[in-house]
Structure 1
Amino acid sequence: MKTARTILGVVFAVVLLVILVVAAERGLLGSPADGTGPSGLPAASASPAPGADDEDAPGRATPTVPADAEVAYVRYVHDGDTLFLTDDRKVRLLGIDTPEVGEHAECWGDVARDRLRELLPEGTRVRTVADVQPYDRYGRSLLFLFTDDGALVNLDLIRDGYAEAVVLKPNVLWSDELEAAEDAARAER
């Protein structure tokens, strides 16, 4: 019986190793060692990339906060693209997708969630901007979020390699900026 468990354990380890090798060869895994984030895009670093301060560089333009943006406060970050506001809205960040956490967890999901928690700690004041479609099929508010310093959180997650640009019509506000940021992040890879 003990021999059967040992053999089963070895088989399991070999299968897991094969899966990891195949995933790595296909570029599905990024790592701190190779400088990539959860989406395989370059991860944020302590030193800015050349031209990072150049707003005219491809993928570096940041939209400005619209005058009609509403003020809200972060209550809790669920994952890398979903959070709750203190006014009881559940928010799905527009224009991005991050790996899942929880029951259907994906690689790097916890890392993307932790990054959003760093960007938006509980109690953080944000400015919310909706697009054409205000809610998704799950009743979540579809929003762009700006911080007090004018940073578009959705865009920063892409630039830092924690999210991919996903544009779903009719919500196309700032889609060019999101896609350019992803292209620039991949080019820096």
Structure 2
Amino acid sequence: MYHSPWLGRKRTGAVVASLVAVVGLTGLAPADAGETPPGGRRGPVVLRVIDGDTIEVRGDGRVIPDGAVARVRLLEIDTPERGDCFSREATARTAELLPVGSRLRTERDVELKDRFDRYLLYVWNDKDVFVNESLVRSGHATKGLFEPNDKYWPTMTRAEDAARRAGAGLWSACPTP
């Protein structure tokens, strides 16, 4: 079970950045070798960014059933909840990394879904950026272990250590959890 360090956290001041509305296609994510259908690449399509660590996608039949609309919780990270310090910035950064209409490459770990029926996934965007790690490294998220899903835990730990040392994002904008 996972417990967020953001629960019960007080807002610490005015939020500097406003949520960026990102609309339009920006390209297609790379597909696994040999699995690219004629005329295009496959991968779930981003329908909307719900918050910094949750998105809604349309499945492509690999991990998420073809055509199914599903919520995806980005594994091994935690972003501030709505109303908490740096939540808008985290959501805006996720929207920049995962624009509406773009295709993703996803990877699962041990458990596929959480108790809220969200898919628990690692996500790479159309530029092959590991979004989960990028959000932690830039200080828009903290690492968050969802046992037994821990495949990239050393990566997330190094990313958070670097963000803390640099005072990136929430590490300088918000009191530490």
TM-score normalised per structure 1: 0.62
Q: Using the TM superposition, give the Cα deviation of residue 86 of structure 1 relative to its aligned residue in structure 2, in angstroms.
A: 2.0
After superposition, where does 1:94-105 map in structure 2 within 5 Å? 94-101=75-82, 105=83
CA distance in 1, matches of 2:49, 2:71: 10
CA distance in 2, matches of 1:92, 1:128: 11
Q: What is the aligned residue count?
A: 130
Identity %: 37
Aligned to 1:154: 132
SS at 2:44's partner residue?
strand
Structure 2 CA distance for partners of 1:132 and 1:66, relative to 1, 3 Å: farther
Give 1 or 2 for the bigger CA radius of gyration.
1
CA deviations over 1:3-50 (Å, ceiling 9, x no partner): xxxxxxxxxxxxxxxxxxxx89xxx77987xxxx9xxxxxxxxxxxxx
CA distance in 1, matches of 2:158, 2:74: 18
TM-score normalised per structure 2: 0.66
After superposition, where does 1:1-189 map in structure 2 within 5 Å? 67=32, 71-87=43-59, 88-101=69-82, 105-189=83-167
CA distance in 2, matches of 1:132, 1:29: 39
**Aligned-pair RMSD on alpha carbons?**
2.8
CA distance in 2, matches of 1:149, 1:116: 14
Gaps of at least 5 residues in structure 2 are 1-9, 18-29, 36-41, 60-68, 168-177
In structure 2, give the amino acid aligned to 1:100. E
Runs of 4+ aligned residues of structure 1 deviating over 4 Å after TM superposition are 28-32, 65-70
Q: Using the TM superposition, give the Cα deviation of residue 85 of structure 1 relative to its aligned residue in structure 2, in angstroms.
A: 0.1
Structure 2 CA distance for partners of 1:178 and 1:112, relative to 1, 3 Å: same
Q: Which has the higher helix share?
A: 1
* C-alpha contact (below 8 Å) 2:15/2:86 kept by paired residues: no
CA distance in 1, matches of 2:145, 2:45: 25
Structure 2 CA distance for partners of 1:127 and 1:157, relative to 1, 3 Å: same
In structure 2, give the amino acid aligned to 1:122. V
Q: Using the TM superposition, give the Cα deviation of residue 188 of structure 1 relative to its aligned residue in structure 2, in angstroms.
A: 1.8
In structure 1, give the amino acid aligned to 2:147. K
Q: Using the TM superposition, give the Cα deviation of residue 148 of structure 1 relative to its aligned residue in structure 2, in angstroms.
A: 2.5
SS at 1:71's partner residue?
coil
CA deviations over 1:119-151 (Å, ceiling 9, x no partner): 111001110111001001100000010013221
SS at 2:43's partner residue?
strand
